Amino acid sequence: MAADKTQLEHRLAGEQQTLTLPLRALIRNAPVVCGEASSVRDAVAIMHERGVGSVVVIGADARPVGIFSERDLVAAVARGEDGRCVSELMTRDPLALPAHAFAYEAALTMIAKRIRHVLVTDDAKLIGVLSERDLFSLQRLGLGELTTEIRLAGDVGILQNIAAEIRKLTRLLVEQGVAPGQLTLYVSVLNDRLCQRVIEVVRKRHQWEQISWCWLGFGSEGRLEQTFSTDQDNGIIFAAHDGAQPGDVRARLLPFALEVNQALDACGFRWCKGNVMASNPALCLSVEEWRGKMGGWLQNWDPKALLDASIYFDFRPLYGDASLAEELRQWVLQRTRTQSTFLRQMAENALQARPALGRFRDFVTEDKPDAPHSVDLKVYGVRLFVDAARIYALAQGMPQTNTVERLRAAGLGARMSAADIDAAIEAFLFMQQLRLNHQAAHEDIAEGIANRIDPDQLNELQRYTLMQAFRLARKLQQRLALNYQL
């Protein structure tokens, strides 16, 4: 076992440079393109001549409109449609990432969306295409192997063992110094796959027809920001057909939801003490019921409504009919943009938690059982960035749920400079790194102290950086207070 760990450590260390390279650095050749009017045979001839497995289809404005790959060709030939125009058979709206995005982001996104190519753009201009083959070395990290094992798992017991392996590998990645943004995305993608397979396995034991449904992730799961210590935050949105009553549909879905929640708990996703789970009838709702619930929060500003909004407005579809979730998101965002009083109340509530800074260049600590002289980095650090980013995104109708993505998308609209946005993101990620380090070093850490660190146990540089991170959190809160005149 020790020899296997040492070998993996060497492999991980050798691959970190590749993982953190920007996509621009991985592009070797100019993109291979064809026009929308090209025939399938023309596209195949271009692919053969250039020795590539795909061709990007561009429109009259030279912007990419689709991608035609070998897989599309096989499907066209099988249907006898290889004489048609390539624009009729291509995969539309291919995934595109900016040139400054990192290689690990492309690899994880390919796995998350189950695609084989990603376009690389610079100021919306196509500069290259990367395939899973280009990023194949990243698969040695275990991304490809683990997702394959998850996909082939036939029962919850096997998934339970895979979940333990994911946690072991994640701890090793922490020890290797993998960046927190990369690591939380890695954890969240694998957790997504595990959750999805649990749902698939359980679904086979439950029969229902004429129900469209989608499993939702809330909280840190919805934001793609899970750490080691995480409980379940999930729900179901459904649409009944043929005039079925929501109560009748819910009665059919709840036993399934309960079994999924129990299976996830067995896999290490703790049972939520607050009952924020799909097996809770209050969170297994029709589209209309979810609209009623969320619309009620926008009109009701008591502490419970504001807390619920902060949890559930970070929702993300995990399995099923994702269009139900996306329609709900659009419905919510159309309303939050105009609910200035609600947003002001959310901002006021967010300011109740202050960074753990003393008046005279020191930290404000607490003495808790098994955690003397400690700071809760989640409550008095990470949460401050999460809350501000959420409010700014909701105010501007931004669909992102991830905190870093929200800050990048909504920061400028909140009158933050590019430098301030970058600084806030770095401060947030540094706090995430400390949380991950702490949780990785204490495998069986109790839930109540999983996010508590003693500043005196940090080295001088870490203490200084944490102090600056808290100051940036305070600066962000001051901006929030100014924006909402609090």
On whether both 356 and 436 belong to a single domain, the answer is: yes
On whether both 296 and 230 belong to a single domain, the answer is: yes
Where among 79, 99, 129 does a domain terminate? Answer: 129
Where among 322, 337, 368 does a domain terminate? Answer: 322
- pLDDT for the residue 7: 45
On whether both 288 and 149 belong to a single domain, the answer is: yes
Where among 74, 98, 129 does a domain terminate? Answer: 129
Q: Where is average pLDDT lowest: 116-130, 243-257, 438-452?
A: 438-452
The more confidently predicted of residues 123 and 328 is 328
| String of DSSP letters for 191-233 | HHHHHHHHHHHHHTT----SEEEEEEE-HHHHTT---SS-B--
Query: Contact at 8 Å (CB) between 40 and 76?
Result: yes
Domain assignment present for 418: yes
Domain count for the chain:
3
Over range 129-143, report the average pLDDT.
63
Distance set, CA 342 to CA 133, 289, 295, 316, 337 (Å): 48, 20, 11, 22, 10
- pLDDT for the residue 142: 56
Domain assignment present for 314: yes
Segments of 253-392 assigned E as strands: 284-286, 316-320, 366-368, 371-376
On whether both 163 and 114 belong to a single domain, the answer is: no
On whether both 81 and 188 belong to a single domain, the answer is: no
On whether both 222 and 197 belong to a single domain, the answer is: yes
The model's pLDDT over 92-113, given as tens digits with 9 standing for 90+, comes to 888 888 888 877 778 777 776 7
Going by pLDDT thresholds of 50, 70 and 90, the confidence category of residue 122 is: confident
How confident is the prediction for the chain on average, in pLDDT? Answer: 86
- pLDDT for the residue 9: 43
- pLDDT for the residue 419: 94
- pLDDT for the residue 360: 67
- Assess whether pLDDT exceeds 90 at residue 406: yes
Over range 386-409, report the average pLDDT.
94
On whether both 124 and 183 belong to a single domain, the answer is: no
On whether both 240 and 154 belong to a single domain, the answer is: yes
Q: Where is average pLDDT lowest: 55-69, 406-420, 451-465?
A: 55-69
On whether both 372 and 425 belong to a single domain, the answer is: yes
- CATH number of residue 17's parent domain: 3.10.580.10
On whether both 438 and 303 belong to a single domain, the answer is: no
- Assess whether pLDDT exceeds 80 at residue 336: yes
Contacts of 133 (CB under 8 A, 6+ apart): 53
Query: Contact at 8 Å (CB) between 349 and 300?
Result: no
Domain assignment present for 117: yes
Ranges 14-18, 320-324, 355-359, most confident: 320-324
On whether both 122 and 146 belong to a single domain, the answer is: no
Contacts of 105 (CB under 8 A, 6+ apart): 97, 182, 185
State the sign of the Cα–Cα–Cα–Cα dihedral 48, 49, 53, 55.
negative
Q: Which residue is listed with tokens 């076992």?
A: 1
Domain assignment present for 383: yes
- CATH number of residue 447's parent domain: 1.20.120
The residue range of the domain holding 181 is 142-322
Q: How far apart are CA 202 and CA 225, in angstroms?
A: 26
- Assess whether pLDDT exceeds 50 at residue 240: yes
Distance set, CA 179 to CA 102, 174, 288, 436 (Å): 11, 8, 41, 10
- CATH number of residue 149's parent domain: 3.30.460.10
Domain assignment present for 339: no
On whether both 303 and 373 belong to a single domain, the answer is: no
Domain assignment present for 336: no
- pLDDT for the residue 459: 92
Contacts of 237 (CB under 8 A, 6+ apart): 213, 214, 216, 285, 286, 287, 290, 324, 325, 328
Domain assignment present for 134: no
Structure token pair of residue 70: 């070998």
Domain assignment present for 342: no
